[in-house]
Amino acid sequence: MLNFSKLLLLTLLAFACAKPAEVKKAVADMTDEEVMAYATALAKQNIIVDGHVDLPYRMEVKGFMLKKKVEDVSVETEGNFDYPKAKEGGLDAPFMSIYIPSSYYVKGGAKAFADSLIEMTQNVATAFPDKFALANTPADIQANFDKGLISLPLGMENGAPIEDDLANVEYFFNKGIRYITLTHSIDNQISDSSYDTTYTWNGVSPFGEQVIAEMNRLGIMVDISHVTDSAFYDALRLSKAPLIASHSSCRKFTPGFHRNMSDQMIKDLAAKGGVIHINFGSTFLSKESRDKYDAMDSVMTNYRAETGLSRSDSAYKAFAKKYSEDNDVYADVKIVADHIDNVVEIAGIDFVGFGSDFDGVGDSLPKGLKDVSMFPNVIYELLKRGYTEEDIAKICYKNTFRVWNEVIKIAESIQGI
């Protein structure tokens, strides 16, 4: 039996001084087991940043907010993210999504809801200080990584909590928010949504223009996941700093799905220095999976109506699991690498990262990428396709760090620091 720890060490030593062409040739000569060992070593060696993980809302749904405590993610859980899984997969800096359902924009209470999710996330770091720590900058993440801690940077999904008060942008910056997704599933006071057909503003609203300027001033990344194409181009024009898509994928593979980005949008995002973080949900990755998922949803709806079962019933879950397996509903980890390939081909290696949407896309995660322990599977696919160690480091964290540091630098320039 191969000694896995020894293989990791030998693999890293062997590739430390190799040139890209030499690495490509060497990987081609490896067994699959050796490539996986190499991938796992790189996952542990590099900081891995994930642009979007929905742990905060997962805890809210499970009622932890009402219990005035946090889920024990220091141990193995049923969710996509927890400490043991993250350590196994090499995930070091998952952006905690402070997700605000659009209903809060309609009925009110968005700011208070955001505050509660932020507090709950902060409490995770407080409850498990030997495992987690907050992070407001790339330097914080590096320092936490050096200590063996998993960083919990904050990104707010939906600008609704800003309400109609520009001062709330700074309020949330002071709370630790380091990116804001301008909107979510409906048009809000800032921007139109790709899921809406109202086109309230035909892009970014006049107030949204002020919000983007204030985000630039403070050093908050502008996240254009969820916006319409016209809102994307407004944000691209308005922002003095590079943009991010925290959890989007390539529309090329999902024609007509405007939640993903077209090739031209990706090129234009990159031209201004931004980064697209690839979403792992099967319906973001493949038209075939989208079609199969829609068919499954119809079957499941009828099954619940016929049986009276709810989504939480074990019998329903078993039926859904068998249906998904029998009908090959979900995508495969290989297509995540296809999306990365596409970005690299049309824009370059410097403009792509990971934005999984773990704990946010339900059971639709692809085969081989069902939770955060499986990041090495993506790296394995990239190695098999000839990506170098430096390429993989850029995808894992360097591209995101570059944008984030540039956003900070521009903010300091605006403030005259």
SS3 66: coil
pLDDT of the residue at 23? 59
Q: Which residues does 274 contact at the CB level (< 8 Å), separation at least 6?
A: 242, 243, 244, 245, 351, 403
The pLDDT of residue 4 is above 60: no
The torsion of the CA quartet 186, 188, 194, 195, rounded to 10 degrees, works out to 0
Beta-carbon count within 10 A of 298 CB: 10
User: Can you tell me the distance from the alpha carbon of 338 to that of 331, in angstroms, rounded to the nearest whole number?
Assistant: 12
User: Can you tell me the distance from the alpha carbon of 371 to that of 58, in angstroms, rounded to the nearest whole number?
Assistant: 14
User: Can you tell me the distance from the alpha carbon of 363 to that of 377, in angstroms, rounded to the nearest whole number?
Assistant: 18
3-state helix vs strand vs coil in the chain, percent to 5? 55, 10, 35
**pLDDT tens, 53-88?**
999 999 999 998 777 789 999 999 999 999 999 999
The pLDDT of residue 348 is above 90: yes
Task: Report which of 44, 18, 97, 146 is spatially closest to residue 376, judged by C-alpha positions.
Answer: 44
pLDDT of the residue at 199? 98
Q: Strand pairing of 177-181 and 154-157?
A: parallel
Task: Report which of 411, 52, 395 is spatially closest to residue 242, judged by C-alpha positions.
Answer: 411
Rg over CA atoms, the chain = 21
Answer for the pair 265, 346: CB distance below 8 angstroms, yes or no.
no
**pLDDT tens, 251-273?**
999 999 999 999 999 999 999 99
Q: Which residues does 308 contact at the CB level (< 8 Å), separation at least 6?
A: none
In this prediction, residue 362 has a pLDDT band, given cuts at 50, 70 and 90, of: confident
**pLDDT tens, 118-130?**
999 999 999 999 9
Q: Give the bridge partners for 354, in sequence order.
A: 50, 278
User: Can you tell me the distance from the alpha carbon of 370 to that of 344, in angstroms, rounded to the nearest whole number?
Assistant: 24
**pLDDT tens, 201-245?**
999 999 999 999 999 999 999 999 999 999 999 999 999 999 999
User: Can you tell me the distance from the alpha carbon of 157 to that of 225, in angstroms, rounded to the nearest whole number?
Assistant: 9
If you count them, how many residues does the chain have? 417
In this prediction, residue 200 has a pLDDT band, given cuts at 50, 70 and 90, of: very high
Answer for the pair 210, 235: CB distance below 8 angstroms, yes or no.
no
pLDDT of the residue at 13? 46
The torsion of the CA quartet 217, 49, 189, 238, rounded to 10 degrees, works out to 50
**pLDDT tens, 136-185?**
999 999 999 999 999 999 999 999 999 999 999 999 999 999 999 999 99
Beta-carbon count within 10 A of 374 CB: 24
In this prediction, residue 321 has a pLDDT band, given cuts at 50, 70 and 90, of: confident
User: Can you tell me the distance from the alpha carbon of 266 to that of 338, in angstroms, rounded to the nearest whole number?
Assistant: 15
Provide the angle, in degrees to the nearest 10, between the axes of the packed helices 32-45 and 375-384: 120
The pLDDT of residue 9 is above 50: no
